[in-house]
Amino acid sequence: MQHTMKRFDEEMVELKEHVLSMGGLVERAIGHAVRAMLEQNEKLAIKTIERDRAINALEVQCDEMTRDILVRRQPAAGDLRFILAIIKVVTDLERIGDLAASIAKGMIQSEESPPRNFSNLDTMGEKVQKQVQRALDAFSRGDADLAMTVIQKDVKIDKLYKRMYRELLTYMMEDPRSISGSIILSDAAKNLERISAHATNIAEMVIYMEYGHDIRHVDHDDAAKILAGDDS
């Protein structure tokens, strides 16, 4: 029995390591995609798109491992929450990888009419990449406080996206020649905003994993009260 439990613990650790490996690839994909756009670097964009296959492969591996553990081990309580959280986290990571690849594809499309002004794309890219990093750190450590930080900072990402969108609209109105490039940049910014939303999803699952509270559709202030033990 002790041997069986030890092997189960090893399987859970292995699964977590696979998820974090996937997260590492996703983090790099975001940084590379944004840099490819800013530098108009086609080779880096192509490499980012091609490496999305590795992210997808890890998703499949994680899915197979979770199914195997559920069938053979029939986990309960905290272990079951951990498995259910991982199923959600892996899905969000795969979608983040797709969004990073979309930014890289936009860079390739922009070659005929490169953006004339990158607005706050570099700043937004750094902040969004940090959001994903925080969410993965929270998952790795089971840190609900850090997870709440991710959730709260998502509001700032939304505001930055809206400001960038307004700036790009202004550029398009002032200079029609900037329309094609500005539309591609707007799409990139929207993809970054969606990546931050997926990071928030991961943070929410960390809280579920640790406390069993599903706060996905709960106001941020109410979620903080729940974590503090104030359900009133």
pLDDT of the chain along its 232 residues, tens only? Answer: 454 677 878 888 999 999 999 999 999 999 999 999 999 999 999 999 999 999 999 999 999 999 999 888 787 788 899 999 999 999 999 999 999 999 999 999 887 778 877 778 999 999 999 999 999 999 999 999 999 999 999 999 999 999 999 999 998 898 888 888 889 999 999 999 999 999 999 999 999 988 876 666 566 666 666 666 655 4
Query: Cα–Cα distance between 151 and 221 in angstroms, integer?
Result: 11
pLDDT of residue 211: 83
Query: Cα–Cα distance between 140 and 132 in angstroms, integer?
Result: 12
pLDDT of residue 219: 62
Give the chain's domain count: 1
Calculate the CA dihedral of residues 183, 185, 189, 190 and round it to 10 degrees: 30
Residue 154, in any domain of the structure: yes
Residue 232, in any domain of the structure: no
Residue 76, in any domain of the structure: yes
Query: Cα–Cα distance between 24 and 21 in angstroms, integer?
Result: 5
pLDDT of residue 214: 62
Q: What CATH number should be reported for the domain holding residue 47? A: 1.20.58.220
- pTM, rounded to two decimals: 0.90
pLDDT of residue 76: 74
Q: Where in the sequence is the domain holding 79, given as residue range(s)?
A: 2-227
Query: Cα–Cα distance between 175 and 170 in angstroms, integer?
Result: 9
Give the torsion sign (CA, 17, 19, 20, 25): positive
Query: Cα–Cα distance between 201 and 29 in angstroms, integer?
Result: 19
Q: Which amino acid is at 185?
A: L
Residues 6+ positions from 84 with CB-CB distance below 8 Å: 208
Residue 121, in any domain of the structure: yes
pLDDT of residue 118: 78
Query: Cα–Cα distance between 147 and 85 in angstroms, integer?
Result: 13
